[in-house]
Structure 1
Amino acid sequence: MKKYSVLLIGCLISVFISSCKQKNEVSNNTIVSEKKNKINELIHQLNNPIGSEVLVISHRSDWRNFPENSLEAMASSIRMGVDMVEMDVAKTKDNHLVIMHDRTLDRTTTGKGLVSDWTLDSLKTLRLRAGTGVPTKYKIPTLEEALTLCKGKILINLDKSYEFFDQAFEVAKKTGTTKQIVMKGYNKTVEQVISDFGTKLDTITFMPIINLDKQSNALQIIDDYQTKLKVKAFEIVFSKDTSKVLNRFSQIKNKGSRVWVNSLWSSLNAGYEDNEAIKNPDSIYGWYIKKGVNMIQTDRPELLLNYLKSRSLH
């Protein structure tokens, strides 16, 4: 009788273990599927210029709660529900790509001098500073580390990397994140972009920066990009709100491109900035929406997300 009892118990344990394994496999498959669905939905939204949703881009990630351009700030943006993180790329003395906004280390790290004068190993000994200037425990990430963290979770805007994008593209291929990347460039003709990027344009999204203060022929430039390259978005910069381009956003979207603005500081947006939105978000973010903007880069992602959700726009 004992023999049969032991056999029965053994069978039950075996069934239980098998059931747990199947549940874990289903759970893991569900997580992978959710990630794929998430990034595919974001890519679909990016490619749909006339969609009702407004995409939120976190400037240097969530730097109010973590050091700017840190892995922790990126992870916080992902948890918050941001659609895209903006990160700045720099190159070390030994030819590695890292995430750092300034040419120098002084403001954001415990080091000093040019990033390009330091090797990657030496940079990894430094600590990132918080927005208050206080050193933290966090380290300078490499581009590969940043892309690996963001893979399948969020769109990625690479800034300050045009001149060495060939190298950045290889890192993107290695990490499987090319389709998540939005590259931007200023003062480049369509022909220059096609020559510089070639077949890379088949997988990444290129976004021209249009400065309404400096480019009097902005509408012609926009038309050239939409006609010859069919770009998915334009970043529009303006210090005054008098340009006729600001009233053409609907036409730009109907022709196939999203409209990106920066709510960071007044020289980029004629005073329609995040700090003013704290007092009255509708007077700032609402103004953008009325104009037809559907991508906003912000220093206050949580504030913007809450506002958009209240308007059923995110």
Structure 2
Amino acid sequence: MKKNGILFLGFLCFAQMLWAQNTSMRIQDLRANLDDSHNDQVIVVAHRGDWRNAPENSLQAIQNCIDMGVDMVEIDVQETKDGHLVLMHDSKIDRTTKAKGYVRDWTLDSLKTLYLIDGLGHVTPNRIPTLEEALEVCKGKILVNLDKSYSIFDKCYAVAKSTGTLDQVVIKGAKSYAEVKREFGQYLDKVYFMPIVRLKDENAEEIVNGYLEQSVPVAFEFTVPADTVALIQKFAEIREKGASVWVNSLWANQNGGHDDEKAVLDNKVYDWFIQNHIDIIQTDRPKILIDYLRKNGLHK
């Protein structure tokens, strides 16, 4: 019996070692793709998780993304009255629960008594997760964009560090390089930072050039109000200089009308992204996008 116990413990140790190795390789592969703006592999980012099949920003919405092979999940972070970090897009809980009020006016314990609702307003078994809980689900499996986190990133950083997920975290902000360096400089060599550039703004190209001249980011997130915006023609050049190009397929006003809802009817809508050298797409329809990309050899 003792021999069998030793063999069983040995098997468990071996299995744990294999799991740790596989998860480490998964993140290494995802980071390598993110670091490479020159390859043809498109990174899929799921907006608020797989929110069409689970409540947005829920642990189930995150797990669904992991299961379908999404590269990065975008989640939103808010701070509670007692200083805890939870997943919630809005500053209020009115839209995603049956309760009301600002997240900042609720303690974590009180929020944990609530259930998230689905898109039709029906109560689900899902509760509001903490950032720590979410990062534990993501650990070793998927990259994580912490949205709405710029102003509280010191606290987000501490949670990511304690959960061992710093190498998976992406943070973004609509800031110039000078602002980011001043406000966020201590973190720039510890996590990925991506500037958000709104192409409708007159100084959009100036902001892009500021980064390319000072410190090339891993990627730019561009909002594209119309597909005739001149700066689109420089996406290929930006990628040549080492920064990937992120454009959302969420709503028509972010991609010149080439959005997810059109892709439901005809996924050739996504051709526009490929033709314009976009290699990171944030989507509300991750399964449709992944199927399209894999069919075209653009997602492993």
**Structure 1-normalised TM-score?**
0.92
Aligned-pair CA distance for 1:148: 1.5
Asked whether 1:99 is paired with 2:84, we answer no
CA distance in 2, matches of 1:73, 1:90: 18
Q: 1:157 aligns with which of 121, 141, 145?
A: 145
Structure 1 gaps of 5+ residues are 1-12
Q: 2:102 aligns with which of 114, 118, 126?
A: 114
Structure 1 residues 6-45: Cα deviation after superposition (integer angstroms, max 9, x where no partner) = xxxxxxx555444443333222211110000000110111
CA distance in 1, matches of 2:223, 2:296: 25
Asked whether 1:172 is paired with 2:150, we answer no
CA distance in 1, matches of 2:6, 2:101: 58
Structure 2 gaps of 5+ residues are none
CA distance in 1, matches of 2:167, 2:73: 14
Aligned-pair CA distance for 1:65: 1.0
Matches of residues 174-253 of structure 1 in structure 2 within 5 Å?
A: 174-186=162-174, 188-213=175-200, 215-253=201-239
CA distance in 2, matches of 1:280, 1:182: 31
CA distance in 1, matches of 2:108, 2:215: 37
Q: 1:72 aligns with which of 49, 60, 64?
A: 60
Asked whether 1:278 is paired with 2:264, we answer yes
- Percentage identity across paired residues of the two chains: 46
Equivalent residue, structure 1, for 2:295: 310
Report how many residues are paired: 299
CA contact (8 A) 2:176 2:195 kept: no
Change in CA separation of 1:17 and 1:96 when aligned onto 2, cut-off 3 Å: closer
Asked whether 1:36 is paired with 2:24, we answer yes
Matches of residues 114-153 of structure 1 in structure 2 within 5 Å?
A: 114-153=102-141
**One-letter amino acid of the counterpart of residue 34, structure 2:** L
Structure 1 residues 163-211: Cα deviation after superposition (integer angstroms, max 9, x where no partner) = 111111111111111121110111x221110111122111111111110
Structure 1 residues 80-138: Cα deviation after superposition (integer angstroms, max 9, x where no partner) = 10000000111111111111001111110121111111111111111000111101111
Aligned-pair CA distance for 1:49: 0.9
The structure with more radius of gyration: 1
Asked whether 1:257 is paired with 2:265, we answer no
Moved over 6 A (4+): none
Equivalent residue, structure 2, for 1:4: none
Q: 2:275 aligns with which of 278, 282, 290?
A: 290
CA distance in 1, matches of 2:135, 2:215: 26
Specify the SS of the correspondent of 1:39.
helix
Asked whether 1:84 is paired with 2:78, we answer no
CA distance in 2, matches of 1:169, 1:63: 25
**One-letter amino acid of the counterpart of residue 230, structure 1:** V
Matches of residues 56-71 of structure 1 in structure 2 within 5 Å?
A: 56-71=44-59
**One-letter amino acid of the counterpart of residue 242, structure 2:** G
